[in-house]
Structure 1
Amino acid sequence: MTQFALAAGSLYGLIGVLLGAFGAHALASKLSADLQAIWHTAVQYQFYHALALLAVGLLARQGMAGASMMTATVCFALGTLIFSGSLYVLAFSGIRWLGAITPIGGVLLIVGWAALLWPIVRS
């Protein structure tokens, strides 16, 4: 799971740079201001959680492995995919009902942070 966390964090960071640049350059004149803001939010959250995945992977390498770290990894990876992914599709397509999926990703991200906090507080 350590390797997965590090790989997913690196991949999300890489894709975040690409999608951030794509949004700033290729989509800037094509999206309305509110859809640009949605795209920007997706990129921000993707970067935050790319870094979170890298932190989880590094903490696991330092000996903080366990069920909590596995839960944090899965929740950060899936939560980012659902949260940011739904916002990217919403911004690109303008299909507003996709915003209803976004909170599922947000809940997973919250659970991921709680799972990361748990072994720290417990020790």
Structure 2
Amino acid sequence: MAVNRNLAAFAAINGATAVALGAFAAHGAGPQIKTLLTTGAQYQLAHALLAVACALWPGYPRLVHIAGWLASAGGLIFSLSLALLGLLSLPALGMVTPIGGVLMIVAWLLLVLAALRTTSSDA
């Protein structure tokens, strides 16, 4: 089975970061920041898992490759922008968060296309 090791490693780093942010939200963050950190950590962890699934996808077609990186990058951008927004009180970072969200949505849509393709060489 071919594995995209770089994507799997990046996804694993995202997963670890998500757990750390979630733990900080649960044990060290003030009430105003807690919601932002928790939301960011949940989305980042879900998309880290998606990226791992993409890294392990049989045949590793091009659409899946792109989807994995978009999911991983989108989750990181979304989560970190929310964390920095809350921790540094920089409202301008609120404009960055939707970029991560769009990347995550596109990743899922690319997986739809990849799943509907009949052969891995078509994707």
TM-score between the two structures when normalised by the length of structure 2: 0.85
1:37 aligns with 35
- Which of 15, 19, 22 is equivalent to 2:21? 19
After TM superposition, the runs of 4+ consecutive aligned structure 1 residues lying more than 3 A away are none
**Counterpart code for 1:93:** L
1:73 aligns with 68
2:80 aligns with 85
RMSD of aligned C-alpha atoms?
1.5
State how far apart, in whole Å, the 2-side matches of 1:44 and 1:24 are.
12
How far apart are residue 92 of structure 1 and its match? Answer: 0.9
2:98 aligns with 103
State how far apart, in whole Å, the 1-side matches of 2:99 and 2:6 are.
22
**Counterpart code for 2:76:** L
2:7 aligns with 5
**Counterpart code for 2:114:** P
Structure holding more helix per residue: 1
Unpaired segments of 5 or more residues in structure 1?
none
Unpaired segments of 5 or more residues in structure 2?
119-123
Q: How many residues are treated as equivalent by the alignment?
A: 116
How far apart are residue 77 of structure 1 and its match? Answer: 2.1
Once the two structures are superposed, residues 1-20 of structure 1 have per-residue CA deviations (whole angstroms, 9 ceiling, x without a partner) of: 81122112211111211221
Percentage of matched positions with identical amino acids? 36
State how far apart, in whole Å, the 2-side matches of 1:38 and 1:7 are.
25
TM-score between the two structures when normalised by the length of structure 1: 0.85
1:51 aligns with 49
Once the two structures are superposed, residues 7-63 of structure 1 have per-residue CA deviations (whole angstroms, 9 ceiling, x without a partner) of: 122111112112211221122xxx233x2111110000011001101111111xx22
